[in-house]
Amino acid sequence: MLFLSGLLLIGAVFFPIWKIELTAPQYPEGLVLKLHASKIAGDVDIINGLNHYIGMKTLHTEDFIEFKVLPFILVGLGIVSIACAWKSNRKGLFVFFFSFVLFGILSACDFYRWNYEYGHNLDPNAAIRVPGMAYQPPMLGYKQLLNFGAYSIPDIGGWMLIVVGALLFAAIIKEKYTKPSGRLLGVLLVCTFLFSCSGDKPVPIKLNTDNCDFCMMGISDGRHGAEIITEKGRAYKFDDIACMAHYCKEHKDTKIKAYYVHDYANNNELIKTENAFFVSGGTIKSPMNGNIAAFSNKSEAKAFEAESKGVETEWTAILNK
């Protein structure tokens, strides 16, 4: 594990470690900023041109001391890891593991500081100024910045470093627990470490503030709204369940992680579609004439079905209608 960790640490120097993807209507193919151990790459010139209008500093590799020292740090850590494997030194393993964790924490703090400074220290004479607006990109995940969506995730080199962390953690567990149950615990903990950042929680819809991402109308009714969460973590909000279904048909290439709908009986409360019971038609009236109501409770749905003279329907039928 230590030997493989050493190779991965050295290998991470040759691949981009992090990337920030930007999407906007005027850039349908998106823009990407790639952070290597030694340089900034990707659509740097275009992004710098856009940043100029909102007062952000332009990005240049030579302005960051990190790009001068990070390759040496990674190669040094890789050599130490291989040396620890060669020596089979248990104490060395523990020291190296905590050194790697400290390196990760300091790197994250430095990345946050870099993002914060570039997103907040704006030129007061910029062509475009929005009072109170900051343009700090997310460290991890998705964030909306004016009409741009920013998505920040590890790139190949970053995933290599994450694997290093998992391998070192597994090595620590192996050294501390020699019984099979201990090894099983180690495997479970590593799996938890790798998948704990996966989430699909809904983003609360702000009534009378948020707009529908399909029809662009304001969302004011907390009984008929809906939302999708993409695999990248972006939330698309809708004022009608039918709007969500229409959006999904027109954007079949969007990778969706979860669908949510408003619980008709509980104002502005989102529930997953797989846990919902749907009633359509009858006297139901929704903002964009989808005329669908969703309930988290089956008995409430049945009672409303009789009251509204609607019919019970399934989510798959709504989505494929």
Residues 217-239, mean pLDDT to the nearest whole number: 91
**For residue 69, is pLDDT > 90?**
yes
pLDDT in tens, 33-62: 999 999 999 999 998 888 888 888 889 999
Residues 161-188, mean pLDDT to the nearest whole number: 72
Q: In what order do the strands lie in the sheet with 311-313?
A: 292-295, 277-280, 311-313
Q: What is each CA distance from 245 to 128, 137, 209, 218, 254, in whole angstroms? A: 36, 30, 22, 18, 13
- Please give the biggest Cα pair distance in the chain: 77
221, two tokens: 């009714």
Residues 105-129, mean pLDDT to the nearest whole number: 88
φ, ψ of residue 248 to 5 degrees: the values are: -65, -35
Q: How confident is the model at residue 180 (pLDDT cuts 50, 70, 90)?
A: very low
pLDDT in tens, 73-100: 999 999 999 988 888 777 888 888 999 9
Cα–Cα dist 110/116, whole Å: 10
- Note the residue count of the chain: 321
How many Cβ atoms are within 10 Å of 246's Cβ, its own excluded?
17
Beta strand pairing call for 40-42 and 256-262:
unpaired
Cα–Cα dist 92/103, whole Å: 16
**For residue 306, is pLDDT > 90?**
yes
Q: What is the pLDDT, as a whole number, of residue 144?
A: 81
Q: What share of the chain is helix, strand, coil (3-state, %, to 5)?
A: 45, 20, 35
Q: What average pLDDT is seen over the chain?
A: 87
54, two tokens: 């909102």
Q: What is each CA distance from 252 to 215, 230, 248, 285, 319, in whole angstroms? A: 17, 12, 6, 27, 12
241, two tokens: 């369940």
Each domain of the chain, given as residue ranges in start order, spans: 2-195, 226-319
Return the exposure string of 173-195: e unless at least 16 CB atoms fall within 10 Å of the residue's CB, then b: beeeeeeeeeeeebeeebeeeee
Determine contact, residues 69/37, Cβ cutoff 8 Å: no
Q: How confident is the model at residue 274 (pLDDT cuts 50, 70, 90)?
A: very high
- Which candidate, 295, 252, 247, places its Cα nearest to that of 271? 295
Model pTM score:
0.63
More reliable by pLDDT, 13 or 231: 13
